[in-house]
A and B are shown apart, each in its own frame.
With several copies, the nearest count.
Chain A
Amino acid sequence: MGRTRILETADEAVAGIEDGSTVLVGGFGLAGMPFDLIDALIRQGAKDLTIVSNNAGNGEVGLAALLQAGRVRRVLCSFPRQSDSYVFDELYRSGRIELEVVPQGNLAERMRAAGAGIGAFFSPTAVGTPLAEGKEQRTIDGRDYVLEHPIKGDYALIGAHRADEMGNLVYRKTARNFGPVMATAASTTIVQVGEVVPIGSLDPEAVVTPGIFVDRVVRADARHYTVQGAR
């Protein structure tokens, strides 16, 4: 049913990601980060990547490891600087990585727009701040807005709790974060889940990401790192 493929290994799941791709990477800090997919992407070797993610890596795992491997040309994120973002910090200060800082809500809404076929939208966030400089502004009904454009991914790598064999997804607690939005915003969405269950096992009322948004699924044990840092 549908066209979601359930794969055996994370390496199969990330096959074909081209150099220069824009990759949306789920997770808020470490919660919901698709560690196995990122590790497989490092092995796969794609380089010159643009990464869209809320943060720019913690410690030396997950996204930080991808950055450390020198595969990332550019990062769009809301909060690169954290107590343990030293890998990113070093790359940035030495001019080896580009950064576009996007307010967290605009980041989510711009990806939502990409997935929803919206050409652009007027957001009240960041009006009058340095992050609105150079952007079109408009007053609508007495309030000021900035025009924001979609962020579309070639690939999304996200983590979820369970998938059924059609690719329907449910998440767990605040690890849901960017996953459902990124799944809609990428041409190819690749998901690692804790469990793959038979079709009919998920409550149709509680499916968060319908399988239409999911191209590849691989099961992987959750790896948890609790890091307390600034957002």
Chain B
Amino acid sequence: MVHDKPLTPDQLAAIVARDIPEGAYVNLGIGQPTKVADHLPAGSGVVLHTENGMLNMGPAAVGDDVDPDLTNAGKVPVTELPGASYFHHADSFAMMRGGHLDVCVLGAFQVSATGDLANWHTGAPDAIPAVGGAMDLAIGAKQVFVMMTLFDKKGTAKLVPECTYPLTGVACVSRVYTDVAVFDVGPSGLSVRETFGTTIDELRERLYVPLEAAAG
């Protein structure tokens, strides 16, 4: 499908889902990334991990399927698919930290040109700090995808030369999916994989980071 306008959140989730390899083990962060599950094609063989101790998590539970002993990392009741397994927190985070997950999809406040991630703290002095699994997830997969709008409500870019918010992880993001473009983070900088209702030149005008067109 050709997108000639900025993506809706659902369209963005579908684009991320499209790029997840068949049979991949994937952790979807809380919030927007959760939507990706709804767009995985039948037969994708993708296995969802939730860091509170489960592989092959199913969709959100409704009605009689709600079980207080079965939730995802956002503490929302979920279901179990055949072939699931349960494990404790040390094993679950060992699985992430050890690089066994193929893909992790996270939200972000900011991503830097070198793949630094800021998604846990706005730096506001009166905020109660709370990190959860964010820092473990940031370094916890072979590929870390970020999903976010490219600009905040005031029009400020969230893909930046250097993060101004406190970091979650350093040089950990491999790809950034936004409503107007998808960026690869590589050793030589950012490249634009595709655009939605914009052009690389327009992006160059609005961002303070160097952009290449993706090869191939």
By beta carbon, the residue of chain B nearest A184 is B98
- Which residues does chain A contribute within 8 Å of B66, judged by CB atoms? 226
Q: A212 to B47, Cβ gap below 8 A?
A: yes
- Other-chain residue from A88, A111, A124 in contact with B97 (beta carbon distance below 8 A): A124
- Other-chain residue from A28, A78, A178, A204 in contact with B130 (beta carbon distance below 8 A): A78
Q: Interface stretch among A8-16, A38-46, A112-120? A: A112-120
Task: Give the complex CA separation of A179 and B52 in angstroms.
Answer: 11
Q: A174 to B74, Cβ gap below 8 A?
A: no
A105 interface contact, C-beta 8 A: yes
Task: Give the complex CA separation of A225 and B75 in angstroms.
Answer: 11
* A interface residue count range (under 10 / 10 to 19 / 20 to 34 / 35 or more): 35 or more
- Given A3-B24, A204-B80, A231-B73, decide whether A78 and B131 contact each other with a Cβ distance below 8 A: yes
- Which residues does chain B contribute within 8 Å of A92, judged by CB atoms? 128
Q: Is the interface of B mostly helix, strand, loop or mixed?
A: loop
- Other-chain residue from A3, A117, A175 in contact with B23 (beta carbon distance below 8 A): A3
- Other-chain residue from B30, B51, B84, B99 in contact with A117 (beta carbon distance below 8 A): B99
Most chain B beta carbons < 10 A, residue from A28, A101, A124, A224: A124
Give per-residue flags for B100-117: 1 if the beta carbon is below 8 A from chain A beta carbons, else 0: 110000000000000010
Task: Give the complex CA separation of A204 and B70 in angstroms.
Answer: 12
Q: A29 to B94, Cβ gap below 8 A?
A: no
Task: Give the complex CA separation of A103 and B82 in angstroms.
Answer: 31
Q: B128 to A31, Cβ gap below 8 A?
A: no
- Which residues does chain B contribute within 8 Å of A68, judged by CB atoms? none
Least Cβ–Cβ distance between B207 and chain A, in angstroms:
23
Q: A174 to B135, Cβ gap below 8 A?
A: no
Least Cβ–Cβ distance between A4 and chain B, in angstroms:
8
- Which residues does chain A contribute within 8 Å of B98, judged by CB atoms? 114-117, 184
Using a CB–CB cutoff of 8 Å, the interface residues on chain A facing chain B are 1-3, 28-32, 54, 78-81, 88-89, 92-93, 99, 101-109, 111-112, 114-118, 123-131, 144, 164-166, 168, 171-181, 184, 199-200, 202, 204-205, 207-208, 210-213, 224-231
- Given A3-B23, A101-B129, A231-B73, 9 more A-B residue pairs with CB atoms under 8 Å apart are A1-B83, A29-B71, A78-B132, A104-B132, A123-B97, A126-B135, A173-B54, A184-B98, A211-B85
Query: What 3 pairs across the A-B complex have the smallest Cβ distances?
Result: A105-B93, A117-B97, A200-B82
A-B contact pairs, 12 of them (CB 8 A): A29-B71, A80-B128, A108-B92, A112-B94, A117-B139, A128-B170, A173-B67, A184-B100, A225-B68, A230-B75, A231-B30, A231-B75
